[in-house]
Structure 1
């Protein structure tokens, strides 16, 4: 069993790891940290919750020289929340260093002028931020990234989806030609490949399969919305179970608005998070959620990848996500650190194919419904497919006779058809018995030889 000691990290990093109660590396850390330490360019494909952030932070921070007043590491993330998470994780590690390691988080919604003034006196050792703000600071001729040795693009597929790949491209174009580049992504879309080919020569591409698709501490329920009002169902689910903290996920900003407005009209206090919420408002809402001023959060998938809320007891998928990965990211908000959680997915019959695809990942659902104000077990939606066919199968000739029987014909002819069907079934049974006897005699003969 590998330990963090095998990575030969500096004492201040080991101290930070112990403070976080990390006992042994995750699969992605065990696989990629040694490769990063060897200076390899890497494309790492792994899911949320795999320990990816510390996979690149630990070996890179081990190389940062606090005596050099220059940028050494640049890390981009597609959202303010993700960048802030990485920043907080970096600060937690670097605070134990005896030599000051300057870490700066450049994201929208922060005081740009103040950041520009600070850059006049000192350059940060580690630059973290959203692509747009980092590029903005570079264009102001304030942030000097030409000295960087390492460039990390986190959540590359999300960066592409949100339209920030152009900014990342421009940042990469101004970095030294000979630097180590690390790209992390849950998926590798085809549109991302030209960027990877442009900047990464012979990268090591590693896909780290999750040991379990979702935590075994999560109850994974499936509830049909057929003939029901999904908004009312969500209201019932939030009020019946009395969740400690629940996140309701929807596919679009418009649907998040609809759900939020309905729940507010029913007297619930709702925190709403999606891309149209202003940065300042989003930051304020997130702080209130962390302080448990809200019990219910309604959000888009941006939040599933961009926020880390502690103590989520329930996740409700108001609709089946368009991407399978989003399902895993959503459900992964609960059942963390060994705690129990409940994930509830509402589905319409038109979602059947997507539900089957999710099940193909090895995820099983418990069918549930709401009855008399309680969440109870219900029948499996595939029960008809699973039901054994006990009826004797008819051959094509007899099928024709059965069809004739359903028509208005003479009684004597109906009896004739009945006899033909009965005789056919008897004949099949006789053939089957003879076959069984022949097999038995053959086996007996072989055993006596």
Structure 2
């Protein structure tokens, strides 16, 4: 810890699920009487509705050990219900629910709402509802449990594409349901065939038999980050419910033996990061790809970057021709430049379809991007007025000098209604300093970056999801794929460097809010250090019919070399909004900082912001940041690679 904050803090917030029960069940009054937090944090805590913790989840420290449906030989074609597991998998706080604008993600009958580009020889007939789409009855029940009423546009095309046995490249906005777009049709098609094609299960009940078996998955899903792998695994657990298909996850940082034990109980759907999967493939009797029918590359444009080349090629080489035919390849991302598409075609069969689903001019449809009168020198410490006027429109791009960023950040957070907030910085040092600064100002923050132990990373993310620490500070590590319920505010404390992710990472960052038709606010701090990104930002704002701040107007019409070949960042990303997010306030209050009564009393978000700024409040966090490094009983894997610590984007992210 290099900041001036409390040195007794350990790095990651300890999740309530992992604390002793006597601590977990402490009331706010008890915490206050014990002097464990400031009055501000107690006040913030009263606005947080914590996620319910089921008995099954208590004590679990690793995402890979999460409960899943366990099939028994005596079951028929469909397994019986498990009420306790059903509550854990499908309870409201665990599943991202569609927002009030989710209908805008739906494919209209005339396709007028979208530009749909389908490249391939086969004509696809998109579905408009799940009924009649040829899905397995158990899958239909699981879809209903998840609250998915109709397919999003990307799902409407992917489901028939999989029925036609096509390889797929799919490009669609963040938060549009891409994970379900590949999991639903794949798992549905395998549900009725699992008994015939799945690998033998270990016979643990036979004393003469083996208690383990080699894992031979039917589906392999490769993700660039551990957090995304865990998140995809959770979705697979939901959609595999009451079927014979058993999902597993493998990622670096967690104990290998625990993951190996789960694999050897049987694995039909494997989700993981490249390094750890390769490790298990190289271990005799642990994992083999001879049965793989579907290979999914999530965030494919990232995995096709040179930093992943060695491990990615090694994984692809392991994919043989199970059952006499090569596996189907599916590649998904929100951004997919032309160079990556050319590389992707090396792995795809000629029977391939490329789907690109965008809504032109709507890349800011659900993320409000209004502009305040900020200008160089606007934020001066000697001024008597607040750094941010809560009655004024908040901005997406704000000029803030480096020395004033921390103060501006705190003022910004207090000026907005309490909701889950994701803050991005470019270096691990910045993340640590921001986290300490927020905590010392009475805000319930936690943080993640690649130098944290995996246990710390999982604890911090669970604390964020459960609203125990509803402010998460992170590097670009969390820019891709992270899907947390009710993230209503994304703040770029540091904008991505133009040569390290640039506008592509910016798009992924702000895509952490306004997911599945919900709304949100994205705010970015800008100063002279960000000039290299200015032409791209200006082009993005202008292409989305957004007002360009005064300090960026000089870049209007300027030439910009699009190194990533993103023809129109506005169209490539998806939809957000200039309108307010009043209608989401009631939804956000569930398991967030703002009580439901706040939503009903006011339709003016700026009145809510003004009220919030008057409330000198904070939130409580037990045991502060959680586990220390020496508590871990395992060592960090040696095969992690990534970008340098000094640059923005992916701060030494891990391959495994």
Q: Is the 8 A contact 1:138 1:144 kept in 2?
A: yes
Correspondence for 1:25 among 151, 173, 176: 151
Where 1:293 maps in the other structure, the secondary structure is coil
Matched residue SS, 1:198: coil
Task: Indicate whether 1:216 and 2:366 are aligned.
Answer: yes
1:268-323 superposed Cα distances (whole Å, 9 cap, x missing partner): 44311122222111001111111212132211222121422222232211133342
> Alignment RMSD, CA only?
2.8
The structure 2 residue matched to 1:246, chosen from 421, 431, 437, is 421
| SS, match of residue 513 in structure 2 | coil
What secondary structure is seen at the aligned counterpart in 2 of 1:4? coil
**In 2, Cα distance between the equivalents of 1:156 and 1:384?**
31
Higher RCO (C-alpha under 8 Å, 6+ residues apart): 2
Check if 1:199 corresponds to 2:347.
yes
For 1:3-23, what per-residue CA distance to the aligned partner results, in whole angstroms no more than 9, with x for missing partners?
A: 112321000111111122222
1:201 Cα shift?
Answer: 2.8
What TM-score do you get using the length of structure 2 for normalisation? 0.52
Instruction: Supply the distance in 1 between the matched residues of 2:345 and 2:508 (Cα, whole angstroms).
Output: 28
Alpha-carbon contact 1:244-1:295 (below 8 Å) kept: yes
CA offset at residue 331 of structure 1?
Answer: 2.2
Work out whether 1:66 is the aligned partner of 2:194: yes
Residue 270 (structure 1) aligned to one of 425, 445, 458: 445
SS where residue 310 of structure 1 aligns? coil
Conserved? CA contact 2:249–2:259, under 8 Å:
no
SS in 2 for 1:305: coil
SS at match of 2:189: coil
- 1:152 is displaced (CA, Å) by 0.8
**Partners of 1:227 and 1:12 in 2: how far apart?**
54
Q: Deviations over 1:403-427 (max 9, x none)?
A: xxxxxxxxxxxxxxxxxxxxxxxxx
Bigger CA drift: 317-326 or 40-49? 317-326
Please tell me whether the aligned partners of residues 329 and 348 of structure 2 are also in contact (alpha carbons under 8 angstroms): yes
Cα distance in 2 for residues equivalent to 1:90 and 1:232 = 42
Partner of 1:41: 167
SS of equivalent to 2:245: coil
1:284 corresponds in structure 2 to 459
Equivalent residue for 1:324, pick from 472, 480, 503: 503
* Residue 354 (structure 1) aligned to one of 524, 536, 542: 536
Of 234, 241, 258, which aligns to 1:88? 234
Task: Report the Cα distance in structure 1 between the residues aligned to 2:226 and 2:306, rounded to whole angstroms.
Answer: 12
Q: Which residue of 1 aligns with 2:290?
A: 146
1:27-426 pair list within 5 angstroms = 27-64=153-190, 65-67=193-195, 68-70=197-199, 71-97=217-243, 100-120=244-264, 122-141=265-284, 142-161=286-305, 163-177=307-321, 178-189=326-337, 192=340, 195-202=343-350, 203-210=352-359, 212-216=362-366, 218-220=368-370, 221=395, 222-225=397-400, 229-321=404-496, 322=498, 323-348=502-527, 350=531, 352-362=534-544, 364-365=546-547, 382=553
Separation in 2, partners of 1:194, 1:270: 42
Contact 1:154 1:184 in 2 (8 A): yes
Deviation at 1:263, TM superposition (A): 3.2
Aligned to 2:142: 16
Query: Does the C-alpha gap of structure 1 residues 101 and 189 become closer, same or farther in structure 2, counting only changes over 3 Å?
Result: same
> Matches of 1:162 and 1:240 in 2, distance apart?
42
Q: Deviation of residue 42 (structure 1)?
A: 1.5
Aligned pair count reads 372
Cα 1:197/1:161, change in 2 over 3 Å: closer
Summarize the Cα distance change of 1:229–1:5 in structure 2 as closer, same or farther, 3 Å threshold.
same
Following the alignment from structure 1 to structure 2, what is the Cα–Cα distance between the partners of residues 384 and 300? 27
Structure with greater Cα Rg: 1
Residue-by-residue CA offset, 1:159-189 (whole Å, 9 max, x unaligned): 2448334222212111124221111123335
The farther-off stretch of 294-303 and 352-361 is: 352-361
Aligned mates of 1:361, 1:60 — CA distance in 2: 36
Question: Secondary structure, in 3 states, of the residue corresponding to 1:280?
Answer: helix
Give the structure 2 partner of residue 444 of structure 1: none
Q: Is the 8 A contact 2:446 2:473 kept in 1?
A: yes
Q: Is the 8 A contact 2:334 2:508 kept in 1?
A: no
Unaligned regions of 5+ residues in structure 1, if any? Answer: 368-378, 386-449
Is the partner of 2:485 in helix, strand or coil?
A: coil
Alignment partners' CA distance in 2, 1:269 and 1:118: 35
Instruction: Confirm or deny: 8 A CA contact 2:367 2:522 kept in the other structure.
Output: no
CA distance in 2, matches of 1:48, 1:143: 32
